[in-house]
Chain A
């Protein structure tokens, strides 16, 4: 139990977030209306995706330094979970955009950047599939993973800010927190970020344990 306290924490936080997200009091904004509740789900999903990708890149660096296959396995599972979170982020974003911007996939630089980022990580999985030798696969895909992360960060943080974007905080728009979120929302939003990151780590941990057991059985 001592080792698993963070799982309990994730469950408690996410229950709180879902309850607050569906029932809590939110400020009423023009256009956004009740859809502002999505800020508890859509934004933390992206935050945690970036955290998971960062962890994946860190494990790739560790693999290149140590050559332990286990690090490579952890890196790919973090990338897998990040892709899942990215898809969920796209989905929640589409629902939100449909109500506030009028269409599920507006031609917005941030959306397009994220789509490119997803392509980049899907290419990472394709690259992994094309090697049979484990060490070789680990080394080459780790190189690509680090490279992809370093390109992904300017893609998602810098390019949308230089062009006109519908997203808050980009293209001269004020960030969300400035006007729309009051303190009561922050009390839900920040825990939501932590909760979703913990959930991502949990999913990854399960997958990693599964893969380790499979590897042990194969040996």
Chain B
């Protein structure tokens, strides 16, 4: 147990180091997020608080979805196949997928919080229940990271990963996205929190299903 935790932390450390050494990729993603928010702001040409709450909410989640797909798509393609093979001789595939998911969750958390602050800054904050809205961001980051990491692993094995990543991930992510939209809309309207518990439960259940499947299925994936 202690051994596997040590291996996991070593793998996590490797992920962070890799990202830090290729800072242009990280900066690119941050800029992508900010740029997308700004494009939306200018396209709607909205003065602060002019968007209706539904548009405000949906727009933010769509930006976040596209950023997530772009950010996570590269989790298996940035390293050469030979080096990946080397990792597989060192650690079990379960640990590798888990470290990737944890790393992507951290990345998505950074992107989501940064995106939300920029979005609220330029388009005006419309959320009445900010803590609950931030909670949905955390749930969304975990859910996006866990479902998209396996999909990016699948897509990276194919000929043109970029198209396949989008095609495979949109339908898979949609149940999660719909639930997240619903909870964040509740947070936006400042409804009583007891209204949202069942949806939050569903999101957690979907996250659990996806995590378990990634854990079970990844060992079959890496060998090809």
Chain A residues near B (Cβ < 8 Å): 64, 113, 116-117, 119-120, 123, 126-127, 130-131, 135-136, 139-140, 142-144, 146-148, 150-151, 154-155, 158-159, 162-163
Contact = CB atoms under 8 A, between A and B. Distances in A.
Given A140-B157, A146-B213, A119 B171 contact: yes
Contacts of A120: 171-172
B154 A143 contact: yes
Contacts of B154: 127, 140, 143-144, 147
A137 B223 CA distance: 12
B175 interface: yes
Contact of A139 (B170, B172, B182, B224): B224
Given A64-B220, A130-B164, A139-B221, A119 B170 contact: yes
A123 B168 contact: yes
A127 B164 contact: yes
A140 B179 contact: no
Nearest to A135: B224
B152 to A, nearest CB: 12
Contact of A162 (B147, B157, B198, B224): B198
Given A135-B224, A154-B205, A147 B172 contact: yes
Given A154-B202, A154-B205, A131 B158 contact: yes
SS of A interface (majority): helix
Interface in B185-224: 198-199, 202, 205-206, 209-210, 213, 217, 220-221, 223-224
B174 interface: yes
Contact of B221 (A140, A150, A159): A140
B160 A130 contact: yes
Contact of B202 (A123, A140, A158): A158
A209 B210 CA distance: 34
5 contacts: A130-B159, A139-B223, A140-B224, A143-B221, A151-B210
B220 A150 contact: no
Contacts of A162: 179, 182, 198-199, 202
